Structure 1
Amino acid sequence: MTGSALVIGIGNDFRTDDGVGLAVAAEVARRRVPDVEVISVPADAGQILDAWTDVPLVIVVDAASGPHVVAGRIRHWIPGDDHQPAAVSSHSLGLPEIFALGQALGRVPRRLVVLTIEIEDISHGVGLSPPVADAVPAAVEAVLAEAGRQP
């Protein structure tokens, strides 16, 4: 990690809306923001822990599903918040569990921000549903704002 912020896009491009974290990360990477590094992972706890350990700021972008979701709604979570992000069923561990594992191992970022985009479809296939695709630009702007950068 060479920059002051790391953006981690989590998802699966072959599970329709579950690819939204990867889509946001790809757009942030395309902008080539100084001091912001971007990676994409399939929710592998080991890879995430390796990437984020002791990084000044980590911004994770992931899909969220569960009861009462509104497809395309963006939510913000930081460790210690009362609410936790919903998990997507294609992930083996959710972000709260990965963070807790990192805490137990002493492998956490100095500051963690999680942005989740609520989804409606995790069936097999490629491409985001319209409400989720429409949320990508706002999620990119939220990532850039968290990183302290203006577009």
Structure 2
Amino acid sequence: MTAPAVVIGVGNEYRRDDGVGAAVVRRLHRCTLPQVTLAITDGESSRLIELWGDADVAVVVDALHADGGEPGRIHRVVVDRPLTGHRPLASSHGMGMGEAVDLALALDRMPRRLVILAVEGADFSVGRGLTPAVRAALDRIAALTIDELSAVASAV
């Protein structure tokens, strides 16, 4: 059975900044987060849907390719009442979050509230370790994630 809330770190730890989602989830393991499931996945749509399908709220942390962007900058997208065809920020993976949302809608497996925290990355080459700008953003991303979970808990 899935918890009322789930935090999903998306990415590949062997592709430098693409590992930001996993790094945030590992950081959150140090916190006391009752009734929150923490998970790491590669971002494949069916795995995302399996993780968030029974949750009231899902927070997804993923890396974002942004040519000419600002590494470490965080984009927040909230999908409270998703519409077919809605396209949140594209992830650093082949299939974007929009496709996962569309499929979840078709299967009636959307969480009540989906929050996507997309972090601009600088380096997605093969290798381990986040770039300094993305690593510097980890505490802020973890705090934003906890704020999202707290906001939902206080609204219940």
Q: Same fold (TM over 0.5)?
A: yes
CA contact (8 A) 1:28 1:140 kept: yes
Query: What CA distance in whole angstroms lies between the structure 2 residues aligned with 1:72 and 1:29?
Result: 21
Partner SS state of residue 62, structure 1: strand
Residue 54 of structure 2 aligns with an amino acid whose one-letter code is: D
Shift of 1:108: 1.1
Identity of aligned residues (%): 35
Residue 95 of structure 1 aligns with an amino acid whose one-letter code is: M
Match of 1:75 in 2: 75
1:45 matched to 2:45? The reply is: yes
Residue 58 of structure 1 aligns with an amino acid whose one-letter code is: A
Q: TM-score, normalised by structure 2?
A: 0.87
Unaligned runs of 5+ residues in structure 2 are 152-156
Equivalent residue runs for 1:1-151 within 5 Å: 1-79=1-79, 84-88=88-92, 91-148=93-150
CA contact (8 A) 1:16 1:121 kept: yes
Cα RMSD (Å): 1.9
CA contact (8 A) 2:2 2:55 kept: no
Q: CA offsets, 1:4-55, max 9 Å, x none?
A: 2100000100000000011001111221311211000011211111111131
CA contact (8 A) 2:62 2:91 kept: no
Query: What CA distance in whole angstroms lies between the structure 2 residues aligned with 1:49 and 1:2?
Result: 12
Residue 16 of structure 1 aligns with an amino acid whose one-letter code is: R
Shift of 1:2: 4.4
Query: What CA distance in whole angstroms lies between the structure 1 residues aligned with 2:144 and 2:56?
Result: 18
CA contact (8 A) 2:49 2:104 kept: yes
- Which range moves more in the overlay, 41-50 or 78-87? 78-87
Q: CA offsets, 1:85-104, max 9 Å, x none?
A: 1321xx23111111111111
Q: TM-score, normalised by structure 1?
A: 0.90
Unaligned runs of 5+ residues in structure 1 are none
Number of equivalenced pairs: 147
Query: What CA distance in whole angstroms lies between the structure 2 residues aligned with 1:14 and 1:35?
Result: 30
